[in-house]
Chains A and B, each alone.
Chain A
Amino acid sequence: MNIHEIKGEIEERYAKYTARKFGILFALLTSLVILAILVTPLGAASLSIGEVFHAIFSRGSSRADIIIWQLRLPRILMAIICGMGLALSGAVVQGVLHNPLASPFTLGVSSAAFFGGMIGGAFGVGMGLNVGFAFFFGMLALFLIYGISKRRGMTPETVILCGICLMYLFLALTSVAGMMGGAIGMSQILSGFLVSSSWESVLTTAIFLIITFPLLMWCARDLNAMALGDDTATSVGINVNRTRMISMVLATLIVSAIVCFTGVIGFVCLISPFIARSVMGNDHRFIFPSSALIGALLLLERILSQELQFNR
């Protein structure tokens, strides 16, 4: 075999390998759309798929229109955005810390951000300030964890244990603050709430997601290089610290925005990147979008199971 044949063969195999990953992305996207369509008719008021479609496209003032536009669409969109954002930030944090157990939830970032959001809410100035406070506390937690992970003798497991301590600390602080302020019920804090969502929350979180996603995709390749070690990454011209900083800030930003509206939602941000890695391999260019889609699917599925359970 001459060199051209061999090269052709490698090229062909690589093309197939990449095509498979795009195929998976497409399949995920398709199932997301299908699931969203399936979930919309479900709810306390029984509407047929026909009524739902009519309501979506006509947007009148009938009962169905109001239910769809005021209750169901915001909730479904919020689930999609939340799932995407949390899963994406989970994937980023795992990539930056080189720790497959890391996520904003297990590192205490989510609960710190939620605590911050609540403090911000106590001043009652508006959502912008809430997100700002949430972001500040989220970053505080993340830097604390990052500092711990850089210490000598720290294994990925000990870092996660520290993160979980931090998570409980902030949850405790939140419940103390909550009891003093009487703002939010404890059950909501612990489980996360997607029950009621407004268009305001959908738009705000969507904006954060739309801004951060392309920037994170731009960091994805550099994160791939950093997975081979800082030395290797530096030697191909990557400013390792800058990339780490940018991606951590962006990940915290998404989490903070989401947490302010929904409370702490735990499992998506940990499990979605995990699933994404197992089907996609460790290329962050594919992990980020696939993890986001999986996150959205998981939260939609949660709405689906809730509705099936309560409204039979």
Chain B
Amino acid sequence: MKLEIRGLSFNYNSRPVLKDVKIEVKEGEMVSLLGPNGSGKTTLLRCIDGMLKPKRGGISIDGKDVREMKKNDLAKLLGYVPQRAVNVLPCSVFDAVMIGRRPYVGWGSGKKDREVVFEILKLMGLEDMTLRSFDGISGGEMQKVLIAKALAQEPEILLLDEPTSNLDLRHQLDVLKIIGEIVKEEKVSALMAMHDLNLASRFSDRIVLLKEGKVYDVGDPKSVITPESIRSVYGVEAIVEENDGGRPHVIPLRAI
């Protein structure tokens, strides 16, 4: 399914955060949102998922406006992975993933729902901690559980807010590879806010570079990640080389 964002503007109180943003994510495509802190990445994802109400502009999935959809129907299409989870009253990993079955009828104690959850736990490599308490696992594992929860929604579009920010090197690659496989095999679209330029470059089909709430540039990694754009958007002097897959690889030198 195709996600389309047209002329989206959003203000926190009177401070504009997003200005006339236009993005398209096609079916089976992995798109990374890049940009410095405060450039509006998280706000954009939250607008798409309906947690924030944009001031102007439209968001549509396959031509249907998300604001006209019921919350439950939207939850079957969009899987959202927050940056981190609160865990004051932690439940078990299994129950946390089962929360993703909420949009489907019967509140997910059916056999089908359990099957889906078991399969996703296996896919994410979480099978050994199924019954562990959510606060008894590492930050990286928590991130994986949140992704598993979003996958349990069987969404058409995945929205991920810095899915690798809490992960170690191995888990970063692991998680992005799994997301990439799901995107390709299940024809899911993924839009993720990222901080790591090199991971984004390696795993995304396209990059959206945000600067102060506006789209600075869109395109394949090679055309977007350049020394000029990094200087202009991040204010950092950097060398851009080529990685083993022919994608750009950034070596930051100094802040300007």
Q: Which residues in A have some Cβ–Cβ distance to B below 8 Å?
A: 3, 6-7, 9-11, 13-14, 17, 94-95, 98-100, 156, 221-222, 224-225, 227-229, 231-239, 277, 281-283
In the assembled complex, the Cα of A227 lies from the Cα of B86 at a distance in Å of 7
Give the nearest-CB partner of B91 in chain A: A282
In the assembled complex, the Cα of A99 lies from the Cα of B87 at a distance in Å of 11
In the complex, 26 of the A-B residue pairs with CB atoms within 8 angstroms, ordered by the A residue number, are A7-B119, A9-B127, A10-B121, A10-B122, A11-B114, A94-B89, A95-B89, A98-B88, A98-B89, A100-B89, A221-B99, A224-B99, A227-B86, A227-B91, A228-B91, A228-B146, A231-B46, A234-B50, A235-B51, A235-B150, A236-B102, A236-B103, A239-B71, A282-B89, A282-B133, A283-B92
Is B95 located at the chain interface by the 8 A CB criterion? yes
Q: Is the CB of B79 within 8 A of A228?
A: no
Number of interface residues of B (CB under 8 A): 47
Report the minimum CB–CB distance from A224 to chain B (whole Å).
Answer: 6
- With a cutoff of 8 Å between Cβ atoms, the chain B residues found around residue A99 in the complex are 88
Report the minimum CB–CB distance from A124 to chain B (whole Å).
Answer: 43
Report the minimum CB–CB distance from A284 to chain B (whole Å).
Answer: 9
Q: Is the CB of B94 within 8 A of A14?
A: yes
Is B72 located at the chain interface by the 8 A CB criterion? yes
Q: Is the CB of B102 within 8 A of A228?
A: no
Asked if A237 meets B72 with Cβ closer than 8 Å, knowing A95-B89, A224-B91, the reply is yes
Instruction: Produce 1/0 per residue, B71-95, CB < 8 A to A.
Output: 1111110111010011111111011
In the assembled complex, the Cα of A241 lies from the Cα of B160 at a distance in Å of 24
Report the minimum CB–CB distance from A128 to chain B (whole Å).
Answer: 35
Q: Is the CB of A283 within 8 A of B95?
A: yes
- With a cutoff of 8 Å between Cβ atoms, the chain B residues found around residue A239 in the complex are 71
In the assembled complex, the Cα of A95 lies from the Cα of B86 at a distance in Å of 13
How many A-B contacts at CB < 8 Å in the complex?
A: 116
Asked if A13 meets B122 with Cβ closer than 8 Å, knowing A239-B71, A282-B89, the reply is no
Partner pick for A227 among B71, B79, B88, B102, CB 8 A cutoff: B88
Q: Is the CB of A3 within 8 A of B122?
A: yes
- With a cutoff of 8 Å between Cβ atoms, the chain A residues found around residue B119 in the complex are 3, 7
In the assembled complex, the Cα of A232 lies from the Cα of B145 at a distance in Å of 12
- With a cutoff of 8 Å between Cβ atoms, the chain B residues found around residue A7 in the complex are 115, 118-119, 122
In the assembled complex, the Cα of A25 lies from the Cα of B175 at a distance in Å of 39
Is B153 located at the chain interface by the 8 A CB criterion? yes
Q: Is the CB of A281 within 8 A of B102?
A: no
Q: Is the CB of A98 within 8 A of B86?
A: yes
Q: Is the CB of A237 within 8 A of B103?
A: yes
Q: Is the CB of B118 within 8 A of A283?
A: no
Give the nearest-CB partner of B100 in chain A: A236
Report the minimum CB–CB distance from B157 to chain A (whole Å).
Answer: 12
Query: 8 Å CB contacts to A: which residues of B39-65?
Result: 46, 49-51
Report the minimum CB–CB distance from B197 to chain A (whole Å).
Answer: 25
- With a cutoff of 8 Å between Cβ atoms, the chain A residues found around residue B94 in the complex are 10, 14
Q: Which residues in B have some Cβ–Cβ distance to A below 8 Å?
A: 46, 49-51, 70-76, 78-80, 82, 85-92, 94-96, 99-100, 102-103, 107-108, 114-115, 118-119, 121-122, 127, 130-131, 133-134, 146, 149-150, 153
Give the nearest-CB partner of B78 in chain A: A235
Q: Is the CB of B87 within 8 A of A227?
A: yes
In the assembled complex, the Cα of A294 lies from the Cα of B227 at a distance in Å of 65
- With a cutoff of 8 Å between Cβ atoms, the chain B residues found around residue A221 in the complex are 99, 102, 107-108
- With a cutoff of 8 Å between Cβ atoms, the chain A residues found around residue B90 in the complex are 227, 282
- With a cutoff of 8 Å between Cβ atoms, the chain A residues found around residue B85 in the complex are 228-229, 232
* Interface SS, A side: helix
Q: Is the CB of A235 within 8 A of B49?
A: yes
In the assembled complex, the Cα of A232 lies from the Cα of B90 at a distance in Å of 14
Q: Is the CB of A10 within 8 A of B127?
A: yes
Q: Is the CB of A281 within 8 A of B92?
A: yes
Q: Is the CB of A17 within 8 A of B89?
A: no
In the assembled complex, the Cα of A239 lies from the Cα of B94 at a distance in Å of 23
Q: Is the CB of B86 within 8 A of A14?
A: no
- With a cutoff of 8 Å between Cβ atoms, the chain B residues found around residue A10 in the complex are 94, 118, 121-122, 127, 130
In the assembled complex, the Cα of A233 lies from the Cα of B92 at a distance in Å of 16
Q: Is the CB of A237 within 8 A of B71?
A: yes
Q: Is the CB of B89 within 8 A of A227?
A: yes
Asked if A224 meets B95 with Cβ closer than 8 Å, knowing A10-B121, A17-B131, A236-B100, the reply is yes
In the assembled complex, the Cα of A283 lies from the Cα of B96 at a distance in Å of 10
In the assembled complex, the Cα of A282 lies from the Cα of B90 at a distance in Å of 6
Q: Is the CB of B133 within 8 A of A235?
A: no
- With a cutoff of 8 Å between Cβ atoms, the chain B residues found around residue A11 in the complex are 114, 118
In the assembled complex, the Cα of A95 lies from the Cα of B78 at a distance in Å of 26
- With a cutoff of 8 Å between Cβ atoms, the chain A residues found around residue B103 in the complex are 236-237
In the assembled complex, the Cα of A239 lies from the Cα of B50 at a distance in Å of 11
Give the nearest-CB partner of A3 in chain B: B122
Given contacts A17-B92, A229-B82, 19 further A-B pairs with CB under 8 A are: A3-B119, A6-B127, A7-B119, A13-B130, A14-B114, A99-B88, A227-B90, A228-B96, A231-B80, A232-B82, A232-B149, A235-B150, A236-B75, A236-B102, A237-B71, A237-B76, A237-B102, A277-B89, A283-B95
Give the nearest-CB partner of A287 in chain B: B89
In the assembled complex, the Cα of A225 lies from the Cα of B107 at a distance in Å of 11
